Amino acid sequence: MTAETALNPTRLVLAAIIGLIILLVLIIKFNVQAMIAILVGAIAIGLIAGMPLEDIVTAVNDGIGNTLKGIALLVGLGSMFGAILEVSGGAQTLAVTLVNKFGDEKAAWALGITGLVIAMPVFFDAGLIILIPLAFSLAKRTKRSSLHYVIPLLAGLAVGHAFIPPTPGPVLVATMLNVELGWVILVGVFCGIFAMIVAGPIWGSICGKKFYVPVPERVANQEEFDESKLPKFGTIVGIILIPLILIILDSIAGVIPALAPVQPVFGFLGEPFVALLIATIVAMFVLGLKHGYNLKELESIMTKSLEPTGLILLVTACGGVLRYVLQYSGLGDVIGNAVSSMNLPIVVLAFIIAVLVRISVGSATVAMTMAAGIVAALPGISELSPMYLACVTAAVAGGATVCSHFNDSGFWLVKSLVGIDEKTTLKTWTIMETLVGGTGFVVALIISFFVA
């Protein structure tokens, strides 16, 4: 920034407010695509703040380039890995095995655990469509409300989708905050377990007693799973754990002196894109070729899985633009000073910002993007410990999960698949999402007190 554009705080704050209002109005009122809305809002902030045009262009280029270089490979590899897991029946293997192990009485816990694990490599909507027939099957067999089993499944999927890499959301936030994914995984798992328990089996049991929702007619007569054709449980668990273990080992090796001699090896294997690449190649052979698919069919499956990633990457990249405009304009320093004067922990600030955007816009991705962009622009962020930044990441994820309602596509997907009306969806799904996000945030906040 030049001396002339070291702008006064009032103008910077006014520019940010107007720019964010423009962004929200474009999405909510005019249904403009989120990528365009975020980009327009970010540029508007720069123009109103008085940034030189060349600085705005630099912020756009830096935001897109620096953001995509951290997540593009991960989103692509994660999509292909999830697609192989999906078509091979791996998701059903986890669910059926755990349900058989837990029994019908505790099957809700099995579905919650399954959803949590599956949502890490598989997109939320795909995981729901794959696994919801099993929840309906259990409801039909036990003559209980389908919500008794569907809610825990949804909670597990929401937790895995929001808190634990390699799912795109926390990867995006971690990249923008420059924190290693190993710490994000450790904190995310801890937050996710508590969130799944509260929002899954506990809330699902309450919903199942309060709302009797029969199995939808369209699935009531579907055949049961043929378990003999599914891959082995141990195989699926082992493959899913490959990237998680490698990434965590990399983070641990960096702080344990005894592992210094092998740290370069762990550093390479634990590089997120390397870890995911290894897992994807293993899945291609073990779940693909050995499960009856040839290379041409696998290529088609994996290519098709990349179709939805373009939107994710572009929205995320524009979130990076927002972050760099806020940073280059100097607004980050203004916000940082305001936060310091209020003695408000960054974990709490990150959660509040994400909640406000989530309620307004509905998109969890947009909420994570905007919250992470604002927090990343604060002064001193790079000086915080990796564990604290992992807690901030979890707080953003929690805030971006709460209060799903009419402006969230997930709300309508759940309503249509479960076969319930809008009022019941608000009383069940919306509260479940709020419990997931709120519980995860509380756990992250508690952890942050010890690592600040």
Digit-coded pLDDT (tens) for 339-353: 657 778 999 999 998
Alpha-carbon distances, residue 9 vs 332, 343, 375 (angstroms): 10, 19, 17
Ranges of residues in the chain with a pLDDT under 50 are 1-5, 222
Question: What does the pLDDT look like over 378-420, one tens digit per residue?
Answer: 888 989 999 999 999 999 999 999 999 887 878 988 988 898 9
CA 399 to chain CA centroid, nearest Å: 11
> Which residue type, as a one-letter code, is found at position 130?
I
Distance (Å, rounded) from C-alpha 416 to C-alpha 424?
A: 12
Distance (Å, rounded) from C-alpha 5 to C-alpha 30?
A: 32
Distance (Å, rounded) from C-alpha 30 to C-alpha 27?
A: 6
Flag whether the pTM goes above 0.85.
no
Distance (Å, rounded) from C-alpha 170 to C-alpha 177?
A: 10
Distance (Å, rounded) from C-alpha 174 to C-alpha 107?
A: 33
Whether the link from the prior residue into 345 is cis, omega within 30° of 0, is no
Distance (Å, rounded) from C-alpha 450 to C-alpha 452?
A: 6
**In this predicted structure, what is the pLDDT of residue 45?**
92
**In this predicted structure, what is the pLDDT of residue 4?**
38
3-state secondary structure at position 363: coil
10 Å CB burial of residue 451 (0-12, 13-18, 19+) is middle
**In this predicted structure, what is the pLDDT of residue 1?**
46
> Which residue type, as a one-letter code, is found at position 284?
M
Best CA proximity match to 218, nearest among 140, 149, 147, 115: 140
> Which residue type, as a one-letter code, is found at position 313?
L
Distance (Å, rounded) from C-alpha 204 to C-alpha 113?
A: 14
Whether the link from the prior residue into 166 is cis, omega within 30° of 0, is yes
Structure letter (DSSP) for residue 4: G
Distance (Å, rounded) from C-alpha 240 to C-alpha 119?
A: 11
10 Å CB burial of residue 271 (0-12, 13-18, 19+) is middle
10 Å CB burial of residue 4 (0-12, 13-18, 19+) is exposed
